[in-house]
Amino acid sequence: MADIRVFGAGIFGLSIAWEAVRRGAIVEVVDPFGIGAGSSGGVVGALAPHVPENWNSKKQVQFDALDTAAEFWAEVATVGGGDPGYGRTGRLQPIADEAALALARSRAETARRLWQGRYRWDVVAAAEFPGLLDSPTGWLIHDTLSARMHPRRACAALADAILARGGRIGGAATDRPMIEVRATGAAGLVALSQALGRNVGTGVKGQAAVFRADLGEAPQLFAEALHIVPHSDGTVAIGSTSERDYDDPAATDGQLDALIETARRVGPALREAPVIERWAGLRPRARSRAPMLGEDPLQPGAYIANGGFKIGFGMAPMVARMMADLILEGRDTIPAEFRPEASL
């Protein structure tokens, strides 16, 4: 059984460390900035599937990750005692017109097949979910595969579980020789691009906000490209922007103000709710737009796990499993689209 050192205490690094330690490996996580210090310390936590059509390996991996998430996070909570804020609460989307209504109904049929009859993509009357989401047609898409996650609490829960199983988390590495996994987020992609002399990935800025509004176990909402996610702590998170050009990656501005106004307009429950936090940060986006998983192109015998971008938390259970399969058991189950060479 290998000893593993993971650089990066974000969602990919912590998930891989957890999967490795639960399989019996000796594991340490190294991050001088602490747990969830990068984009994994954000606020939104929308775990939402791709549209159920034009199926490919990326969509299959994401489905498998969302399908196994409840079991994954339940074990994390049981072992470590922390609450990751997970809940399979589903998602609502407004239907804009008759053409969109016909398309939504056709996707209900493909969802039954592609989601293996385990989850639904239904067209429902907006009156079934009063006060949550305005819809021009009076109809909504309701899927039961989507889930929510509280990013900061999830990272803390993973850290608790790793420590409970004997793993180590610290700001500096020990002297012990170990197999290295680099899960260093946006900064890691920038460093890799500089080392290779070409762009293989970068950080994309996102801005998000948190409202004080207790919607209980209400579904998350997706309208006008905006995620609105009720959490179990009496808050609702919204986000996010996708900014390639920015001056300050941690500053919020008028682009977030516009998201807040959109959330108030489409979500009646938020119209009078106060905003209690504004957040901005860089999310790691690989050139291929898929996660970058596999052997480190700059360091033989080491590995890389990066590029979670908007789907890192949703993909985490399968990313952890595939990386542990590869490192600990020599089984390569990583799709071609996810390999580092897809972005090189």
Surface-to-core class of residue 246, CB atoms within 10 Å of its CB (0-12 exposed, 13-18 middle, 19+ buried): middle
- Residues paired with 199 in a beta bridge: none
Domain count for the chain? 1
Whether residue 217 has pLDDT greater than 80: yes
Q: Does the residue 97 lie in any domain?
A: no
For the stretch 176-215, pLDDT in tens is 999 999 999 999 999 999 999 999 999 999 999 999 999 9
Is 326 contained in some domain? yes
pLDDT tens, position by position, 248-259? 999 999 999 999
Q: What is the mean pLDDT of residues 160-169?
A: 98
Alpha-carbon dihedral of residues 70, 76, 82, 88, nearest 10 degrees? -10
Q: Does residue 118 belong to any structural domain of this protein?
A: no
149 and 159 Cβ atoms separated by less than 8 Å: no
> What's the mean pLDDT in 150-173?
98
Instruction: Compute CA distances 62 → 9, 115, 149, 331, whole Å.
Output: 22, 11, 15, 19
Q: What is the pLDDT of residue 2?
A: 82
* Cβ neighbours of residue 327 closer than 8 Å, sequence gap 6 or more: 2, 4, 20, 179, 181, 303
CB 238 within 8 A of CB 260: yes
In a domain, 78, yes or no: yes
Q: Work out the mean pLDDT of the chain and round it to a whole number.
A: 97
| Average pLDDT over every residue of 47-64 | 94
- Is the pLDDT score of 1 beyond 80? no
Residue 203, classified by CB atoms within 10 Å of its CB into exposed (0-12), middle (13-18) or buried (19+), is: buried
d(CA 312, CA 335): 16
Specify the DSSP element, H or E, that contains 262.
helix 254-266
Q: Is residue 131 part of a domain?
A: no
- Average pLDDT of the residues in 134-160: 97
Only one residue has tokens 């009063």, namely: 130
Mean pLDDT (whole number) for 150-175:
98
Grade residue 151 by pLDDT with cuts at 50, 70 and 90. Answer: very high
* Assigned domain for 212 exists: no
Cβ atoms of 12 and 314 closer than 8 Å: no
Is position 7 within any domain? yes
What CATH number should be reported for the domain holding residue 323?
3.50.50.60
pLDDT over 80 at 220, yes or no: yes
Within-domain flag for 209: no
Domain containing 14: what range? 3-87+146-197+288-342
